Structure 1
Amino acid sequence: MSSVFPVLVALTVLAACAAAVYGPASRFAREYLDALLVDALRGADGTAEEPALRAAPNRRALLLPHWQMALFLVVACAAGCAALGSGRWWELSLALPMMAALTVAGSTDAVCHRLPNGLLGPAALWAAACVVIEVVARLAAGGGLSQALAPVGESLAAAAGLGAVTLLLALVPSGLGMGDVKLCALTGLWLGRFGWAVPVAGVVAGLFIAGTVAIVLMVLRLARRDTMIAMGPYLIVGAVAAWALAVA
């Protein structure tokens, strides 16, 4: 296969994902935030006093298209170096739509401490599609049925396991919310086909990064022990890093 073909495929997928991030995805995030603020102002969901929502209007600029585009391109370039450097260009093509959705979802969480289902849902569907593509690729390569179907069981088991563990953590004062639980289950579904250790490492890395940042903020007196931080961006960083190590 020509070395030009993988690059063209990756660039095509990148262009499509970048257009989605710049257009409908970032627009959805801004509309989601505005609706959330309106409901909070009216007291419709009892969140008017949440510090994250009081500060959200000042951080709304993070959801503007050019900021979203820049952040996604940074993530995509890092992912491209990992995948293309190892010759696994198809993994990059599969990962870019996921990273596009997670980039906007993480930015939204950073602004208002919410991970919208409208972004996590399509990401979960794409993660499931990646598993199906993996099964088809194994069958096309001449693998047996049991071997070809292995990614299905691995991904479902990782999603269920991580979802269950993080749900238990969310039920105690751990800083995790239901959006984070869904994100961890999504990480398992997406990365489980690489083996259970990959998604687990991604979640653990994300929690470690979040904890480290929280400690630094407390040392600098920019946060207190009871200050809530958005966990989503750190869990996403951990998931993407685990993906990069799996394909590198």
Structure 2
Amino acid sequence: MSTALLVAAGVLGALVGSFLNVVVHRVPRGESVVRPASRCPSCGHAVRRRDNVPVLSWVLLRGRCRDCRTPISARYPLVEAGTAALFAAVTAVVGPAWSLPAYLYLAAVAVALALIDLDVHRLPDPIVLPSYAVALVLLTVASAGTADWWALLRAAVGAAALFALYAVLFVAKPGGMGLGDVKLAGVLGLYLGWWGWDALAVGAFLAFLLGGAVAVVLMALGRAGRRTRIPFGPYMLAGALSALAVAQPLADAYLSVVGLSPSA
């Protein structure tokens, strides 16, 4: 893996992360992510271009507005740095492949949706629904570039299967699963299905494993009860992204345990 590619992915991720801060703040409020330009919520002054450099500007300004010196939340540089790290990690897993743009888009959407779900317990349609079209376009390009049309068919099956699973859970246990989770499941099914059957199975399983583990910890700490609603979107997204890296090793390990060759 080229170091230059990983660095480029990290820089792109930091820039995207800066935009995602705007998305996370404005989309739940029904505001445009384009206009007006970013401003200090305290004094109203527009953020200067030189103060919009991801992470670095926050450090140089010592976490304060240049004009009114009001503290700026550390969440902003953390989102930028976190998105940079996630982009680099996804690039390391996917490599310089036709599918890389598709999975970088998934990484960006994952950051935005996870933060919004944690903030307001919603997965906004303006982000989730267009992601179906974007994913289909990018994965179609990836299949065309690799001449692997079976992967695109597998993606469609994965989307239908994961959507159906969450829809059944939504109907079977009202209140246990949000409709936004059902819509997101179809998007994740596209990406996991394109990657492989093992990724689809592992990604679906990891979502419930991670969500359940966090719920148990929160209850043990007294920060949640049996009736506390915990946003599930972040665990769906974390499970899907993790599956890209761990699905194949886990599948190979399972086949070895049952006495089959991983290539069988």
Instruction: Decide: shared fold, TM above 0.5.
Output: yes
Map 1:224-243 onto structure 2 (within 5 A).
224-243=225-244
Is residue 152 from structure 1 mapped to residue 152 from structure 2 by the alignment? yes
- Provide the C-alpha distance between the structure 1 equivalents of 2:134 and 2:80, rounded to a whole number of angstroms: 17
Q: Residue in 1 aligned with 2:26?
A: 28
Larger relative helix fraction: 1
Q: Is the 8 A contact 2:24 2:116 kept in 1?
A: no
Contact 1:134 1:151 in 2 (8 A): no
Of all paired residues, the percent bearing the same amino acid is 25
Cα gap change, 1:8 to 1:247, in 2 (>3 Å): farther
Classify 1:239/1:69 alpha carbon distance in 2 versus 1 (closer, same or farther; 3 Å).
farther
Equivalences for residues 117-156 of structure 1 within 5 A? 117-139=125-147, 148-156=148-156
Q: Matches of 1:117 and 1:247 in 2, distance apart? A: 32
For the pair 1:190 / 2:191, whether they are aligned, the reply is: yes
Question: 2:114: which partner in 1?
Answer: 106
1:87 to 1:199, Cα distance in 2 relative to 1, 3 A: closer
CA RMSD of aligned residues (A): 3.0
Q: Confirm or deny: 8 A CA contact 2:10 2:84 kept in the other structure.
A: no
Tell me if the contact between 1:102 and 1:123 (Cα under 8 Å) persists in the aligned partners: no
1:89 aligns with 2:96: yes
Contact 2:90 2:107 in 1 (8 A): no
SS in 2 for 1:125: helix
SS state of the match for residue 236, structure 1? helix
Within 5 Å, give how 1:191-230 maps onto structure 2. Answer: 191-230=192-231
From the superposition, tell whether residues 220 and 16 of structure 1 become closer, same or farther in structure 2 (CA, over 3 Å): closer
Say if 2:181 and 2:232, in contact at 8 Å, map to a contact too: yes
Counterpart of 2:204, as a letter, is V
Post-superposition CA distance 1:172-206 (Å, at most 9, x none): 22721111111111111122111122123112101
Most deviating of 204-213 and 8-17: 8-17
2: distance between equivalents of 1:132 and 1:68?
34
Query: Does structure 2 retain, via aligned residues, the 8 Å contact 1:170–1:178?
Result: yes
Distance 1:17 1:125, change over 3 A: farther
Indicate conservation of the 8 Å contact 2:123/2:181, yes or no: yes
Structure 2 unaligned runs (5+)? 32-71, 250-264
Distance 1:246 1:14, change over 3 A: farther
Query: Are the equivalent residues in 2 in contact too, given 1:106–1:232 (CA < 8 A)?
Result: yes
Cα deviation digits, residues 19-43 of structure 1 (max 9, x gap) = 43133x234334249xxxxxxxxxx
* In structure 2, C-alpha distance between the alignment counterparts of 1:83 and 1:224, rounded to whole Å: 38
Determine which structure has greater relative contact order: mean sequence separation of CA pairs < 8 Å that are 6+ residues apart, divided by chain length.
Answer: 1
Are 1:169 and 2:176 an aligned pair? no
Instruction: Kindly provide the CA deviation profile for residues 141-194 of structure 1, in whole angstroms up to 9, marking residues without a partner as x.
Output: xxxxxxx21122100000000100110011122721111111111111122111
The answer (yes or no) to whether the contact 2:162–2:185 under 8 Å persists in 1 is yes
User: What secondary structure, in the 3-state scheme, does the structure 1 residue paired with 2:229 have?
Assistant: coil
Deviation per residue, 1:45-65 (Å, 9 max, x gap): xxxxxxxxxxxxxxxxxxx98
TM-score (norm 2): 0.67
